[in-house]
Structure 1
Amino acid sequence: MSKLVVKKIKKKDHPSLDIVTSKGVELIGKKIVLCVAGSVAAYKAIELARLLMRHGADVTCVTSNAVTKLIQPDYFKWATGNEVITKLTGELEHIRLADYKQSDLVIVYPATANTLGKLANGIDDTPVSTVLTVGFGSKIPILMCLAMHESMYDNLAVKKNIEFLKNKIQFVNPQMVEGKAKAPEPEDVLEIVLKKFGFSSVLKNKKILITAGPTLEYIDPVRVITNISSGKTGVLLASELISAGAKVTIVYGPGNQKPSKGAKVINVTTSKEMFDITKKELKKKFDVVIMAAAASDYTPESVSKSKIKSDKKCLTIRLKKVPKIIEQVKKLQKDTLLVGFKAESNITKSALIKSAQKKMKDVNADIMIANDIGSKYQKNPDRNQILIIDNNKIKSSGWKQKEKIVKLIRKEIEQKLK
């Protein structure tokens, strides 16, 4: 008797997702809710969804009942690869999509006078208006692209609603054509979205190499010497530069942060691996090299092939200095923009500046990021205070979340590349 063999079939991604990142990775990892209101311009929402996806976004459409009379929901599912929200159920779709930090952006395209009025007055009697009410309350950014007859656009009640919302959400100006305030073109909305997430014409297509995270130096097969670097600054910086349009390669030690989507990630463990891989990558041309890793300065002279017995009262381990990766960068690529990091602990600001300036000169860096990782930093490692040193200019960030710190570093890099 033959055996019945049952194979588990892996669920495949929707075929429409093949276009994701085909034009860029600026929006990778970004969840965008596309609310489509009942206007004849709704057909253009298909094109907008596809444009956003081609730059990496994950798009979910929410439609009003009026839209489904113009366009079948399956068309939106075909376009995005995601289920279309046409009604609210026990699945709590409005919470899943628009509650705190559930999505990165809500776009209303096209936005009718009716939808505008409901948001301005807290009315939520359709899937679109309810998603908007939740998103408005949870402070998810909302981008509203108005489309209606010019006479409606000039209506005092409509203008009052726009006035009430103008400093709370972002409007995209309609095109005034043939007596109508027509929805902006999808390409124009895409450009606004890209800029909203940090796109930069200066950084577009720039090739950037980043090292990040700690390294592990083995004493025996199970014991290591390391440091407490999380790799967070390097990973956040990679994400920031990807959103700006750069092509990022990250050589990443064993940090506890998830590497940035959209980056080429090369995982390493030891300082030797990081050194060798970085040197190998530098055979390619990079516009910017950022040495953010907390690579070990020393490694054991010899590594025990077997686990060292734990019965000894005292153990002596001899360490040797490892080569500095940053010292090789300008030797291999003299024209690259080199950004170095210098960390000290519990020293004065003047001593930190002096130390960073010396390192900057020794390695021929263009920008040096200095910070004190002593006791004050250890109390809350998600915050940092850096000094950005550029020749004789010194800028202090003040204590900020690392998400804001990397934006300052990115701006400094942009200024140098202009």
Structure 2
Amino acid sequence: MLQGKKIILGITGSIAAYKTAMLTRLLVKAGAEVQIIMTDDATEFITPLTLSTLSQKPVLSKFVKSESGEWNNHVELGLWADLLLIAPASANTIAKCANGICDNLLLATYLSAKCPIAFAPAMDLDMYKHPSTSENLRKLESFGNIVIQAASGELASGLEGQGRMQEPEYLVKKIEKILDVKKKFKGKKVIITAGPTQEAIDPVRFIGNHSSGKMGYAIAKSFLNAGAHVTLISGPSSLHPPSALSTYSKIQTAQEMYAEVDKHYDTADIIIFAAAVADYRPKSVAKEKIKKQSEAMTIEMEKTIDIAKTLGARKKKNQLNIGFALETENEEENALNKLKNKNFDLIVLNSMRDKNATFGHNTNKIKIFSAKGLVAETELLDKSEVAEIIVNQIHKLSIENE
């Protein structure tokens, strides 16, 4: 599975560094070419000699090769690799990567890498659960990086809880999955809409909703990891766009979103309508701020353009349109009606009844339907995991349609 793959294994200062001997051995056995970069602290836990013997390459840790005076070119390393895995990833290194601090060769390589990047955290329970660590991990994911959540068990401190680096066998399977998924949508053009739209009432106020864009952005990252050319069209959101997007457009209104999707629609292979688009807008927008004058106020509304239905009417045979439905009642019935009426190939159903599964949360719980009925269902999962499930279902459907 990993034959010929070039993997940089970044090792940082953690007791879990002892596991990297077996991890290196398994990666080499699977056919990978492994280049190890260690931080100075990591060398206190396992020797470079052990790892260079197992990887069959000199272990790198300094910017300059002491014996020759040549430098280890972090830019070339970043271009060389198919994957950068930092395992174990200490709280210190995670914080530095999340905030762009660059004071060793591994960090410089991280900032230069053009390949998928994965972190396997390892630290004590309290460190792992600390809000600053959680925030740093969220930042890394928002940059398009993959965080392989720590396992639970007995920790070096003697405590029991989450913080153990995943075992080498698990990490190898995860690497295989990351690198294999890259083939699934190679060369495919994907459009994803995300976030809310905002329809102006006056220069100060607007009609909108609570969508954060997290689900759409997570799907964009999954498609990028799958090798697709991704166009992300986003309503107002505080999220950072993933790196390597083909196109990134920020819009505000439903009409603006339609114009951007329409621009790319005919050449796209897959279109994901994940945005929470306003159904209505004020019929007229006040030129000045509306002052509070009476106890009641009436705003005359008109329908916005139905982007998915309008574009779905001209969907080609080789295109896949994927929709989302957020429902509060008659959920499955409403979702299936939407699937049919808007010419979707799949529809992803969210329920407002599910706690921590809709707007603003990092987790989601979904059902996916095709014209044949239910094709996938999840428990409450991180949105990055839900995104992978959605992308895998789209891949399955694309194979069936070939």
CA distance in 1, matches of 2:166, 2:241: 35
1:319 aligns with 2:316: no
Deviation, 1:334, is 1.6
Structure 1 residues 202-213: aligned runs within 5 Å: 202-213=184-195
- RMSD of aligned Cα (Å): 4.0
The answer to whether 1:75 aligns with 2:54 is no
Give distance in 2, aligned partners of 1:314 and 1:407: 47
Task: Read off the aligned partner of 2:396 and give its amino acid letter.
Answer: Q
Aligned partner (choices 193, 196, 202) of residue 214 of structure 1: 196
Q: 264, 267, 290: which is aligned to 1:281?
A: 264
Q: How is 1:14-413 mapped onto 2 (pairs within 5 angstroms)?
A: 34-35=36-37, 37-38=48-49, 39=52, 62-63=60-61, 68-69=65-66, 72=69, 74-77=71-74, 79-80=76-77, 96-97=92-93, 136-137=122-123, 168-170=167-169, 195-196=177-178, 199-263=181-245, 264-283=247-266, 285-335=267-317, 336-345=319-328, 347=329, 351-374=330-353, 376=355, 377=357, 381-394=361-374, 395-413=376-394
Retained in 2: the 8 A contact 1:344–1:371?
A: yes
Match of 2:117 in 1: none
Identity, in percent, stands at: 26
Amino acid at match of 2:373: K
Is the partner of 1:305 in helix, strand or coil? coil
* TM-score scaled by length of structure 1: 0.60
Question: Offset at 1:328?
Answer: 2.2
- SS state at 1:290 partner: strand
Given the two structures, how large is their TM-score scaled by the length of structure 2?
0.62
Offset, 1:137? 4.2
Contact (CA 8 Å) 2:197, 2:208: kept in 1 or not?
Answer: yes
The answer on whether the counterparts of 1:99 and 1:135 sit within 8 Å (CA) in structure 2 is: no
Aligned mates of 2:364, 2:177 — CA distance in 1: 26
Distance change >3 Å, CA 293–CA 94, structure 1 → 2: closer
- The runs of 5 or more residues in structure 1 that have no matched partner are 1-26, 46-60, 83-92, 104-133, 143-164, 174-190
SS of the residue corresponding to residue 259 of structure 1 reads coil
The answer for the alignment partner of 2:153 in structure 1 is none
CA contact (8 A) 1:210 1:289 kept: yes
Offset of residue 194 of structure 1? 7.3
8 Å CA contact 1:212–1:291 kept in 2: the answer is yes
Distance change in 2, residues 1:79/1:72 (3 Å): farther
Shift of 1:383: 2.2
Deviations 1:264-318 (A, max 9, x none): 21110011111111112214x1110000000000000000111111233221101
SS at match of 2:313: helix
SS in 2 for 1:304: coil
Task: Give 1:43 deviation, angstroms.
Answer: 9.9
Aligned residue for 1:155? none
CA distance in 2, matches of 1:80, 1:274: 39
> SS at 1:332's partner residue?
coil
Structure 2 CA distance for partners of 1:375 and 1:385, relative to 1, 3 Å: closer
Q: Which moved more, 1:258-267 or 1:408-417?
A: 258-267
What CA distance in whole angstroms lies between the structure 1 residues aligned with 2:389 and 2:170? 27
- The answer as to whether partners of 1:43 and 1:71 remain within 8 angstroms in 2 is no
Could you report, residue by residue, the CA deviation over 1:329-364 in whole angstroms, capped at 9, with x for unpaired residues? 23333231110111112x2xxx21111111111111
Consecutive unaligned residues of structure 2, counting only runs of 5 or more, are 1-6, 12-35, 39-47, 80-88, 100-119, 129-146, 150-163
